[in-house]
Structure 1
Amino acid sequence: MKTKLKTKDFIYAGAFGAIYVILMMVLVSGTGMIPVLYILSPFFVGCVCATVYMLYVTKIKKFGAILILGLLFGIVTSTSSFISLVWALICGLLAELIARAGKYSSKKMFLLSYPVFNLTMIGPFLMLFYAKKQFITLCEQFYGADYAQMVDKLTPSWIIFVLAGLALVGGAIGSLLASKFAKKHFEKAGII
């Protein structure tokens, strides 16, 4: 197997990256209307976006592909802080290393890599850990004082650990669903 990314791989990366990011944004925007659901968005994104991730990693089985997806995710989610970009790159690299440990051919390692990749979802929430007041102010600017007040109540200092747990559980459930979906539909259709 060739290990260097080619132009075709970058095209796939851009296409799948766009699909993943758009799907994530639709989910977060939809859940974002209700503060409780907004806090649960790492779980929902993990459950839903796993299929796109699995198609992507089974299509481009080379080092750097997952990292590119992490970079695209980080760029989109780092509008209020560069920390989200750094976090997305770290999570992307860790997911990449897990997939690489399976030589990009192990279904189990792909299934393990996605929950780690889905930790990128807590990147935008990291401000709650180091700049909660600024995060709440941003919420107030976009959604109003009542919304911001509810988010403030729902996010104690330890919430980042809950969000990480939600991202991991959502990613694990999504991986299993994507695996079954891929086997049932995509393998039969010859997509993977």
Structure 2
Amino acid sequence: MVPMPPATHPASPFTPRDFQLVLLRRMADHNPGLVEDARHALGASITDMREANKRWQAMLHSPRSRAAASPYRSVLGAPESTLTRRIGDMACEAWLFPVPLWPDLRFEVLLAPNGAVWNEWLIRAPEAEGPDLKSLADLTPWSCTVDEAARAFAPARPLEGTAPTRWGLAFTAPDAEGARRAVVAEFTWGLLQRVAVND
């Protein structure tokens, strides 16, 4: 008798919880303690986080994905709000999705006029009050977004990130004694992860 192959079960749906685990997976290198606390809040294991990231990457690169933006709507549903942002002379559409781990933030997917995803990161929710950034002491992990740091410590120079989901900013900020210090701030998914002071 020929043995029957083991029964296969369809994969469980990829949920907003899984998407948050994808965001955390990219932040774990910089802030493992914060990520562990957030992972526990989601009731997820390290294995769950790795599996969510693996499945998300497969979704992004699937030939069945008709457009680069389609995975976001299929996983996160309809955007909470849709905004128009101008980049130069071009009008782009921005989709904003809630992320329960960070109630005051929204995940923004910025679409080019042809529907391609130009950018994807965390921003402050339009109705939320941003942080009061005045010195190095205020630049703690997860305290601010890229645009908030750039505005608070202008002029800031953008730096190329070490991965597609990472960004950097170079600027000066006062230390505890008020002396201006040259710093490099690193962001993952648009959220501050760490600051290096150039002595």
Q: TM-score with structure 2 length normalisation?
A: 0.32
Q: Specify which structure has the bigger relative contact order, considering alpha-carbon pairs within 8 angstroms and separated by 6 or more residues.
A: 1
More strand by share: 2
Q: TM-score with structure 1 length normalisation?
A: 0.33
Which has the higher Rg, Structure 1 or Structure 2?
Answer: 2
More helix by share: 1
